[in-house]
Amino acid sequence: MPKPKLPPAKQRVPLVMARLAEAYPDTGTGLHFGSQFQLLVATILSAQCTDAQVNKITPALFAKYPTPEAMAAATVTQITPFVKSTGFFRNKAKNIHGAATAIVKEHSGQVPGTLEQLVLLPGVGRKTANVVLGDGFGVTGITVDTHVGRLSRRLGLTRKIDPVKVEMVLNKLIPQAEWTRFSHRLILHGRAVCNARKPRCETCSLRDVCPRIGVKPPANGAT
């Protein structure tokens, strides 16, 4: 028997949001931080690394360099040993130092509070900027990491592959007030249920609204 045709994404989104909110009522980044600057650093470190691993190394890092001024006054060589276990550590140490230096020189030691300013900092793309804005400033934004991108395609919300294009699509589908919470809930669901290799479809609360088999993205991600 063929699968029943599901309603368009726009009609399914309210149910998807409600189910995710029921499953994951408490949202927020899994990263530990004590300031907007520490959140920025932790988010840079989380690229290609788990939050749990980042949380293991940041207490020592932040004890030594708790502020932009302290981090900028250090050298990349001094920072590197603290972040070595997070992967791509040389680039991360360089970017953390560069971001701290820019914050001190260009923003009087304060992490800028707009996406346009944040993405000008070394090592900061839209994903990192939206995490900092959402969890550090209370400014809502869609954070498109690997989980959000994967689940958005599996749920048939978009067929886009480029993270920025996925973000733009979700911005139109999700109410702005829910952007940050929706991102966190998709990430949690991606980790707990809809993982990359072996999604647990049989126990998924979204299984009746998920056209996963029919949303394989095209090779060029154009549609």
Question: Which residues does the annotation mark as catalytic?
Answer: 127, 145
**Rounded CA gap, 129 and 141, in Å?**
9
Contact 56, 82 (CB under 8 A): no
Q: Per the structure block, which two tokens stand in for 191?
A: 């980790």
The angle, 0 to 180 degrees and rounded to 10, between the axes of the packed helices 163-173 and 179-192 is 120
Contact 100, 71 (CB under 8 A): yes
Burial class (CB within 10 angstroms; exposed 0-12, middle 13-18, buried 19+) of 55: middle
Per-residue DSSP letter, 136: I
**Rounded CA gap, 40 and 73, in Å?**
17
**Beta-strand runs (E) in the chain:** none
- Secondary structure of residue 53 in the 3-state scheme: helix
